[in-house]
Amino acid sequence: MTSALRISKLRKLFGAYDVDQDGVMDELDVTALAQMWCDTYDLPPRSAEWNRIHRQAHRMFRDMPGSVDADGIKKVTVDEWLAWGDHPEFRKFVESSAIPFSMAVFAAADKDQDGRISMPEMMAAQLKGGMSEQETNKVFSLLDADGDGYVTTDEYVEASREFYLSDDPAARGNHIAGEL
């Protein structure tokens, strides 16, 4: 059974993925989410980075559970999403779909392509995503495990994994999307 902590994290994430906030995630939400990240980082349409974010977002959506309505449109409800957190295949989804999407966004934030993001690079994304400056500072401090002033690819992958999978209330990754 999914813990209360993981349910809280999954609910928060569903809220972010359900861009139009209609209570159902569909392909339009995923496209809007991907485009929001592309706009945040001023990615030219159809550039390699733009394509990577859109492809990974749609792959993630394809790999989610859901049902197809009478019009042939796949939709994921919050209940389906939360139940997915208990599914034996959820860990595989996190590793093969969710983390690659997060890392495509991370790569777009990493403007100098040095495998790490600075506080200003993270601030641009988190403010656009609705997180406050204070909250972003806190998250950055938690994710910067070695305290060097950067969040590395490895630190971000681990935090993403913890966000999706950890039941440990002290896990740094619990805060990757802000306060729960």
In a domain, 108, yes or no: yes
* Residue 162 included in any domain: yes
Closest to 163 in 3D by CA, of 145, 179, 147, 141: 179
What pLDDT shows up at residue 123? 85
Mean pLDDT of the chain: 92
Q: Distance (Å, rounded) from C-alpha 60 to C-alpha 50? A: 16
Instruction: Place 180 in a pLDDT band, splitting at 50, 70 and 90.
Output: low
Cα gap 85→4, rounded to integer Å: 11
Number of domains in the chain: 1
pLDDT of 137 > 70? The answer is yes
Q: Tell me if 107 is assigned to some domain.
A: yes
Hey, how many other C-beta atoms are within 10 angstroms of the C-beta on 17?
19
Looking at the predicted structure, is the pLDDT value of residue 126 above 90?
Answer: no
pLDDT band at 159 (very low <50, low <70, confident <90, very high): very high
Local confidence band at 1 (pLDDT 50, 70, 90 cut-offs): low
Residue of 13 and 178 predicted with greater confidence: 13
Task: Determine contact, residues 178/122, Cβ cutoff 8 Å.
Answer: no
**pLDDT per residue over 42-72, tens digit each?**
999 999 999 999 999 999 999 999 999 999 9
Tell me whether residue 112 is in a domain: yes
Q: Is residue 178 part of a domain?
A: no
Q: Is the pLDDT of residue 32 over 90?
A: yes
Residue 35 is part of a domain; what is its CATH number? Answer: 1.10.238.10
* pTM (2 d.p.): 0.90
At residue 161, the pLDDT reads 95
- The pLDDT tens digits for 2-19 are 789 999 999 999 999 999
Structural domain harbouring 87 = 4-167
